[in-house]
């Protein structure tokens, strides 16, 4: 089979790496890809948002299956476009993707189908929003309705901060139309966990759990990022939580979406918080997580292409997901200054040394080739990912790998996976 993967991050490098292990696959293309991906796939210079370009390429190259990594093309309806042209593609259609691209829709769905989540209210008018805020207890969570690259959530401690957040979203419109509506919700406390699941619209098969590290600094301090590292399994996610999440969250969500005429085929990512009252949903995403994918897919034994085909054909009930009984840890190396301003184009050293190590891989996120050298080209640059029989050993190995890498002003957290070890 000829495969096209859309995207250019660590998630896509991991997808390409896993797909390359399938005996069903003869050739992989990635649009646009990165320096690491170019060792496993032919990178083509078409942007993830260039729907016409991607469809033309898939037609011309007779691609058998396209896999969409990021949310942007999904939210713009790439799956609907490919379907119309008779091109096989993995991911939810535009209407189903709204579970991620509209928080107003996802909150409505959860409320209607009794899926545990924070209580909330929706506003389009800034004055009404502010009047509501004045009557609430703090902390309070204010969210842009639309896509904001993980930056549209404000946890506010008082009236002044709330006013600032509402001004940014609704007056200054820092995220444009994404802030036309805002969701204001109750602040929840607990450990966060990511559960990714395959669904063909009827059957739901959860993957192994993982925990992301969203904040930039050690001990979960500082601003949110796309994710600074992850590990799997998560020891405090027990059998009871697993069963509750499947029966009370994942299944009712997929069934609810079907009832709303939005059959969901793809990966459903539930961002959960384990509260005293049980697991609740913080958000849904319509795709694989990044960096969660880096720690989940190395544990998968089942052929990923077989799973993708079963999802598309509505045969997921025939698949039995098999997992390795090991642990995986991914430490993200970022450009100094991320998630704020940072410099690109720094030459990355040490990748060859890392290649000589066993049970470890550098998944590339923001890298590109320049004069035959690998240079940084984004905020998150590499995800050093190691596996072993325990989380502790996988963490030690991942940091051993991190030590081999060098580029100017590189930054990484020192405490990835510690919560999984205690
Ligand atoms: P989201 O993009 O909705 O997942 O929000 C990003 C981050 O904001 C989450 O990972 C949480 O750390 C935090 N967050 C979002 N909603 C809430 C909430 N209701 N209570 C506490 N923290 C939240
Ligand atoms: N790791 C968070 C996300 O993929 O949205």
| Domain boundaries along the sequence of the chain | 2-91, 125-180, 191-318, 327-420
Nearest ligand to the CA atom of 285: 2
Q: What's the pLDDT score for residue 345?
A: 97
- Least confident range of 75-89, 122-136, 346-360: 122-136
Confidence of residue 252 (pLDDT cuts 50, 70, 90): very high
Q: Is the pLDDT of residue 422 over 80?
A: no
> Are 46 and 54 a contacting pair, CB within 8 Å?
yes
Q: Is the pLDDT of residue 18 over 80?
A: yes
Q: Report the C-alpha dihedral over residues 235, 238, 244, 247, rounded to 10 degrees.
A: 90
Confidence of residue 179 (pLDDT cuts 50, 70, 90): confident
Confidence of residue 372 (pLDDT cuts 50, 70, 90): very high
Percent of all residues in the chain with a pLDDT value above 90, rounded to a whole number: 94
156 lines ligand 1 (CB under 6 A): no
**Measured distance CA(89)–CA(163) in Å, rounded:** 43
Domains 125-180 and 191-318 share a fold: no
**Measured distance CA(161)–CA(133) in Å, rounded:** 11
Query: What class, spelled out in words, does domain 125-180 have in CATH?
Result: alpha beta
Distance between Cα 358 and ligand 1 center (Å): 36
- 366-371: long-range pairs with CB below 8 Å, 24+: 366/9, 366/34, 366/335, 367/34, 367/35, 367/36, 368/34, 368/35, 369/35, 369/38, 370/345
**Measured distance CA(199)–CA(417) in Å, rounded:** 28
Which residues are 329's β-sheet partners?
231, 386
Q: What's the pLDDT score for residue 151?
A: 79
Confidence of residue 27 (pLDDT cuts 50, 70, 90): very high
Ligand 2: residues within 6 Å at CB?
A: 150, 212, 227, 285, 289-290, 292
141 lines ligand 1 (CB under 6 A): yes
Q: Which residue's CA is the closest to the ligand 2 atom numbered 3?
A: 289
Top mutation candidate among 193, 289, 295, 297 for ligand 2, by most atoms within 8 Å of CB? 289
Atom of ligand 2 nearest to the CA of 285: 5
- Least confident range of 135-144, 311-320, 322-331: 135-144
282 lines ligand 1 (CB under 6 A): yes
Once rounded to an integer, what is the mean pLDDT over residues 148-177?
90
Query: In which residue are the tokens 């002044």 written?
Result: 160
Confidence of residue 408 (pLDDT cuts 50, 70, 90): very high
Q: What's the pLDDT score for residue 133?
A: 93
Query: What class, spelled out in words, does domain 191-318 have in CATH?
Result: alpha beta
Once rounded to an integer, what is the mean pLDDT over residues 347-356?
97
Nearest ligand to the CA atom of 194: 2
Q: Which residue's CA is the closest to the ligand 1 atom numbered 5?
A: 153
Top mutation candidate among 146, 283, 284, 419 for ligand 1, by most atoms within 8 Å of CB? 283
Q: Which residue's CA is the closest to the ligand 1 atom numbered 3?
A: 283
Q: Which fold has domain 327-420?
A: 3.90.600
Distance between Cα 135 and ligand 2 center (Å): 32
Confidence of residue 148 (pLDDT cuts 50, 70, 90): confident
Q: Is the pLDDT of residue 150 over 80?
A: no
Once rounded to an integer, what is the mean pLDDT over residues 175-185?
91
Once rounded to an integer, what is the mean pLDDT over residues 33-38?
98
pTM above 0.85, yes or no: yes
> Are 292 and 269 a contacting pair, CB within 8 Å?
yes
Q: Which two tokens stand for residue 193?
A: 């966990």
Confidence of residue 381 (pLDDT cuts 50, 70, 90): very high
Confidence of residue 393 (pLDDT cuts 50, 70, 90): very high
Q: Which CATH architecture does the domain made up of 2-91 adopt? A: 3-Layer(aba) Sandwich (3.40)
């Amino acid at each position: 089979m000829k495969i096209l993967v859309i995207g250019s991050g660590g998630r896509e490098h991991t997808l390409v790496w896993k797909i390359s292990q399938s005996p069903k696959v003869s050739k992989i293309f990635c649009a646009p890809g990165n320096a690491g991906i170019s060792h496993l796939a032919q990178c083509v210079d078409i942007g993830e948002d260039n729907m016409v370009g991607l469809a033309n390429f898939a037609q011309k190259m007779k691609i058998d299956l396209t896999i969409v990594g990021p949310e942007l093309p999904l939210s713009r309806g790439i799956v609907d476009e490919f379907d119309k042209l008779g091109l096989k593609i993995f991911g939810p259609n535009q209407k189903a993707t709204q579970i991620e691209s509209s928080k107003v829709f996802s909150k409505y769905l959860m409320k209607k189908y009794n899926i545990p989540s924070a209580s909330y209210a929706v506003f389009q008018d800034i004055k009404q929003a502010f009047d509501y805020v004045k009557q609430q207890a703090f902390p309070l969570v204010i969210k842009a309705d639309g896509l904001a690259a993980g930056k549209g959530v404000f946890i506010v401690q008082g009236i002044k901060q709330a006013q600032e957040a509402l001004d940014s979203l609704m007056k200054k419109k820092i995220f444009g139309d994404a802030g036309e509506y805002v969701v204001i919700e109750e602040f929840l406390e607990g450990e966060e966990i990511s559960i990714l699941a395959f669904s063909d619209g009827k059957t739901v098969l959860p993957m192994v759990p993982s925990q992301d590290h969203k904040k930039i600094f050690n001990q979960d301090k500082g601003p949110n990022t796309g994710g600074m590292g992850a590990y799997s399994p998560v020891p405090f996610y027990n059998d009871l939580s697993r069963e509750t999440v499947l029966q009370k969250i994942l299944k009712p969500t997929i069934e609810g979406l079907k009832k709303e005429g939005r059959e969901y085929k793809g990966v459903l990512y539930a961002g959960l918080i384990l509260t005293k009252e049980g697991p609740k949903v913080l958000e849904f995403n319509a795709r694989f997580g990044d960096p969660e994918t880096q720690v989940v897919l190395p544990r998968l034994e089942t052929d990923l292409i077989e799973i993708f085909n079963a999802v598309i054909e509505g045969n997921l009930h025939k698949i039995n997901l098999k997992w390795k009984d090991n642990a995986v840890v991914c430490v993200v190396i970022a450009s100094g200054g991320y998630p704020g301003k940072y410099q690109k184009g720094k030459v990355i050293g040490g990748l060859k040394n890392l290649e000589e190590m066993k049970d470890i891989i550098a998944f590339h996120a923001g890298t590109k080739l320049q004069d035959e050298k690998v240079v940084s080209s984004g905020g998150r640059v590499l995800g050093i990912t190691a596996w072993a029989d325990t989380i502790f050993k996988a963490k030690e190995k991942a940091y051993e790998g991190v030590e081999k890498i060098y580029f100017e002003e590189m930054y990484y957290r020192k405490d990835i996976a510690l919560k999984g070890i205690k």
